[in-house]
Amino acid sequence: QKEVEQNSGPLSVPEGAIASLNCTYSDRGSQSFFWYRQYSGKSPELIMSIYSNGDKEDGRFTAQLNKASQYVSLLIRDSQPSDSATYLCAVKNTGTASKLTFGTGTRLQVTL
């Protein structure tokens, strides 16, 4: 079973702080990695994709990938209450033509 693991949380951070969300995966050959944000009662929304080792920045979001350690993370700078949501990590496994495996998600709470 090719797995994606996340801490379910909740991860609580004060407004303005950096939120760090982590994800590990078991398929060493995985090449594509995604972060989705899901508000309560809503559908998952793609916020970041990353394909190469290193950092990828988009506004307040930075995705970090370390294939050797099989680890992908999402940093949210200057966290806002509107960032409070569940963040899902997704990985495309080798040989599965566009099929993604999702983690169970980390619930983030940004407090005032």
Partner 1 sequence: DAGVIQSPRHEVTEMGQEVTLRCKPISGHDYLFWYRQTMMRGLELLIYFNNNVPIDDSGMPEDRFSAKMPNASFSTLKIQPSEPRDSAVYFCASSDTGAAGDEQFFGPGTRLTVL
Residues engaged in binding partner 1 (CB under 8 A): 32, 34, 36, 42-46, 49, 51, 88, 90, 92, 96-105
Closest contact distance (angstroms) between CB of 48 and partner 1 is: 10
Burial class (CB in 10 A: 0-12, 13-18, 19+), 69: exposed
**Which is closer to partner 1, CB of 79 or CB of 101?**
101
Query: SS3 for 79?
Result: coil
Query: SS3 for 95?
Result: coil
Closest contact distance (angstroms) between CB of 100 and partner 1 is: 6
